[in-house]
Amino acid sequence: MTLLAILIGTLVAGIGSVWLAAWLSFGVVSRYTQHMLSLAAGALLATAFLHLLPEAFEAGVSPQALFLTLLLGLVFFFLLDKAELWHHGHEHHHGHGGDHANDHANDHAHDHHGHAHHHHAHGERSAGHWAVLAGDSVHCFGDGILIASAFMADVQLGAIASLAVLAHEVPHHMGDLVVLRQGSSNRQAAVLKVSMAGAITALGGAVGYVLVDALHGALPYFLVVASSSFIYVALADLIPQLQKRLSAKETAAQVIWLVGGMAMVMAVSQLAHPG
């Protein structure tokens, strides 16, 4: 019975938060798509620095070990990003290697350059997709263990924990959806991918039910790895897209939405964890 309650609670928290974030992102604020990058960057940074990392460092684990995990996580997601971009470039090279080996090479040079530029831009927009999904999966797995721990202590506490996780996941899932929508108009695919990551919460709950004591000590490391993915995506993918010459009014709007994303996470975390 406890396991069933854990599975229901984790699915509601993991997938419900994604669907709520999708409704907000694609419904209420979808008209502000240009500002959603700023909102996403703020939400991801605030989730990492104001929620996940403090919780990890409060666990009593050596700060050096956690900082090393954070550093290795950033390097890992950098390498993952490079592998993704290399794959796109390698695929393009083999798919169009013969374009210049014909009698009309000069006629096609401009078109090839334009296609290469488009392809490169697509690769840049794809940067961070896998980092977001990997970080989300690790984060959700950790959330599942936390929810399982709460349910095993008390069913009512588990229900409260599930609602708290649902609430504090919404802001950064909104950021995830913005990242995954880069270069694609397929909302359903983005929601499906993030929902699959959210479903990992149930896996974490099931594993936590069996191995809650053994995995409890690893939770700080899960939190730090998830933090590294959100920090990397915000600083390496989203923020650079905001670094362009804009008018004072447009720059002010960028900053407002960036701070708004941070404030949203802070407000939700405060409501979920009063005091």
102 occurs within a structural domain: no
Full-model pTM: 0.63
110 occurs within a structural domain: no
pLDDT at 118: 41
pLDDT at 123: 46
Q: Is the pLDDT of residue 107 over 70?
A: no
169 occurs within a structural domain: yes
Least confident residue range of 79-83, 121-125, 204-208, 219-223: 121-125
167 occurs within a structural domain: yes
pLDDT at 211: 82
Q: Is the pLDDT of residue 269 over 90?
A: no
> What count of Cα atoms within 13 Å lies in the side-chain half-sphere of residue 226?
30
Q: Which structural domain range is residue 222 located in?
A: 2-94+119-272
Q: How big is the chain, counted in residues?
A: 275
3-state secondary structure labels for all residues of 213-238 = HHHHCCHHHHHHHHHHHHHHHHHHHH
Separation between Cα atoms, residue 177 and residue 193, nearest integer Å:
9
pLDDT at 183: 55
Question: What mean pLDDT comes out for the span 57-62?
Answer: 88
What percent of the chain is modeled with pLDDT above 70? Answer: 75
Q: How many domains does the chain have?
A: 1
Separation between Cα atoms, residue 189 and residue 207, nearest integer Å:
28
Structure tokens at 274: 């009063």
209 occurs within a structural domain: yes
99 occurs within a structural domain: no
Tens digits of per-residue pLDDT, 156-189? 767 877 877 786 677 768 778 877 776 555 778 8
Structure tokens at 63: 């700060």
181 occurs within a structural domain: yes
**Selected residue with higher pLDDT from 88 and 209:** 209
pLDDT at 9: 92
Pair 80, 270: CB distance under 8 Å: no
Report CA torsion sign: 28, 29, 33, 37.
Answer: negative
Q: Is the pLDDT of residue 117 over 60?
A: no
